Amino acid sequence: VVPEKLKFTITFNPLAALTEIYHNLILDGVIPSLFSVVYLTVFVIIVLWLGSLVYNHYRESFAELL
């Protein structure tokens, strides 16, 4: 369904990996691959770390920014 020149965007999209995990588990009954689970875990850790860095940087003026 996705053109060949755009397949790399699906490969590195964490939501696509999460959707694939749920699809395989619920519809096909297949346990997700270790790569998919590790990729999502690393992605979530990086996003949480970056979010905490941004929050800690703007903590004093966070209420005004909202």
pLDDT at residue 51 in the model: 95
Please give the mean pLDDT across all residues of the chain. Answer: 89
Indicate whether 1 pLDDT > 80.
no
Structure tokens at 37: 């689970």
Pairwise pLDDT comparison (46 vs 62), residue with the higher score: 46
pLDDT greater than 90 at residue 62: no
pLDDT digits (tens, 9 = 90+) for 23-51: 999 999 999 889 888 989 999 999 999 99
Q: List the structure tokens of 50.
A: 């970056």
Contact of 14 with 45, CB cutoff 8 Å: no
Q: Is pTM, for the whole model, over 0.75? A: no
